[in-house]
Each structure stands twice: as structure tokens, then as C-alpha cells.
Amino acid sequence: MTRRFKLKIALLSLPAVIGFAVFYIIPFFRSIGYSFIGSVTKKEFVWFENYKEVLANKYFRMALKNTVIFSVVGVALIMLLSLALSIALVKLSKKVSFIKSFFVMPYVLPSASVVFFWQVFFDTGTYTALTEIEGLGGFFDVLPLYVIFLWKNIGINIILITSALTKIVPEIYEAAALDGAHGLRLHTKITLPLISPSLFFVGVLSFVNSLKIFKESYLYYNSNYPPDTAYMIQNYMNNHFYKLNYQNLSTAVVIFTLAMALVIFVWYKLENKMSEGTF
């Protein structure tokens, strides 16, 4: 790669880098600064008082707990279903590329139409009665969000995982079968390590999409304050944005960003172990 070619790449990348810095990096560092002041107008340095206040806020803790539960359960379900359906799709169909085009449709459909469909689907007397059952009502309150998340995002996951599976050379499975590997062991020792980079990407994508459920949640419940079990961290941040409580909002953003970075770091380490066959 010549120096002239590298210069062209740098110049072509410059607009994207500038845009990313202006709209993401600089605002994030300003948010960190806001998290250490008493108010936006006075700008009095208060050390970690905002962090203590946010962490002590019962609604923040409830939103954080609900978001963690939703992300863990939602991502685990969508990863297992996507992997199982992708393996079945590769085995049962020779026209994979043709069938894959249908899976992307829910991902590109407008959220309003998707949510409207599921509102009609769940608008039944039986489901309403289930939401009123003591002890189980909380689960049925948030169930539509899980269904919408799975239905909307599983298609793109299947496309990505299927593409990775179709690139595995069949002779590898034949050699493993001769060595005595069959069934589940064949997939855990051969399939998963070979497609671990794609699984890592799909996992991160699913995790990010699980954090973007606020739009569907707002449209489905038609309120800034959904049922307690469906109250996510995005609801908390949005409500404080409307209240102009920027220091509280900025503090919540910093805490949540650090939590996201930790999750992705752990997921990255697991992906490395899986690709090395030591997981």
C-alpha cells in the first residue's frame, strides 16, 4: 500500500471521522462534565454527588434492572433461536439465498406498523386477564416487548449466521465424523469456533438492538411511563430530558455507557475463548 493511497483513504475517511467526533465523541465528553456539576446554569462542581443521587434513585435502579433482565433474556433467546434456525435452514434448504431475503423484512419495516400489528394481536380479553394475575402480571406486561424484539431482529441475525455457516467447508465435518464427533459435540467443537466472529458480531448487534427497544415500547404502551416491569433505562433518560434535568441525565448516560462497555468487553473475551476452542 503506497503512501499516496493511504493519503487518499485518510482524506475520504475524514468527513466520517469529523462527523463522529462532532456528534458523538464531543457530546459524550461534555456529558461527563455535566455529571460533575450541580446544574447547567450555575455549573458548580459537586464531585460525585450526582452519581450518588442517581444510584440511590429507585426509578433508575428499577430501569437499570429491567434493562439488564431484558437484554440478558432477550439476547440469549434471540441468539439460540437464530443459531438453531440458521442450522436448520442450511440443512433443509438448498435455496438459502432466496429464502434469506424474506427474513430481513421485519427489520426494515417501519416500527409503527410492526407495533400496530402486535397491539392488535395482544388486544384480547384473555391476555388482558393474564396481565392482572398477581405475581404473573409483571411478566405479561413486558411480554409484548420480548415478542416485538424477537420478531423484528431475528431475521437479520439468521442472515448473518447463515452466511457464516455456508462458508464452512463440508470436508471439515466429514473429517470430524471420522474421528468420532457426532451430534451436539460436532457443533460445539467445530461449528461454534468457526463462526465465533460472526456470533460475536450478531451478539453485539442484538445487545445494541435490545437497548433500542424504547421506540417500540413508547409506541406500544403510548406513554412515557409504561408498566413497572417494562420501564427501561431509555424511559428514565427520556423523562429526565423532558424535565431539563441534564446533570441527572448525563450521569445516567455515563453509568450506562460504562456498563455497556463492560458487557461488550466480557463478550469479546468469551468470543476469543470460543474461537481458540478453550471455552
The arithmetic mean of pLDDT across residues 167-190, rounded, is 72
Q: pLDDT by residue (tens digit) across 79-105?
A: 999 888 888 887 776 555 556 666 667
Q: pLDDT by residue (tens digit) across 6-59?
A: 788 878 888 888 888 888 888 888 888 888 887 777 777 888 888 888 888 888
> How much is the pLDDT for 77?
92
Domain boundaries, the chain: 51-276
What average pLDDT does the chain have? 79
Q: What Cα–Cα distance (Å) separates residue 53 from each residue in 20, 211, 266?
A: 31, 23, 28
Q: pLDDT by residue (tens digit) across 215-239?
A: 888 888 877 778 888 888 888 888 8
Which of 107-111, 130-134, 262-266 shows the lowest mean pLDDT across its residues? 130-134
> How much is the pLDDT for 129?
66
Separation between Cα atoms, residue 205 and residue 231, nearest integer Å: 22
Which of 181-195, 211-225, 240-254 shows the lowest mean pLDDT across its residues? 181-195
* pTM of this structure: 0.79
- Topology annotation, domain 51-276: MetI-like fold (1.10.3720)
Which of 70-74, 120-124, 217-221 shows the lowest mean pLDDT across its residues? 120-124
- Contact (Cβ atoms closer than 8 angstroms) between residue 78 and residue 153: yes
Separation between Cα atoms, residue 268 and residue 178, nearest integer Å: 32
HEC-encoded secondary structure of the chain: CCHHHHHHHHHHHHHHHHHHHHHHHHHHHHHHHHCCECCCCCCCECCCHHHHHHHHCHHHHHHHHHHHHHHHHHHHHHHHHHHHHHHHHHHHCCCHHHHHHHHCHHHHCCHHHHHHHHHHHHCCHHHHHHHCCCCCHHHHHHHHHHHHHHHHHHHHHHHHHHHHHHCCCHHHHHHHHHCCCCHHHHHHHHHHHHCHHHHHHHHHHHHHHHHCCHHHHHHHHCCCCCCHHHCCHHHHHHHHHHCCCHHHHHHHHHHHHHHHHHHHHHHHHHHHHHHHCCC
> How much is the pLDDT for 278?
56
- Contact (Cβ atoms closer than 8 angstroms) between residue 248 and residue 240: yes
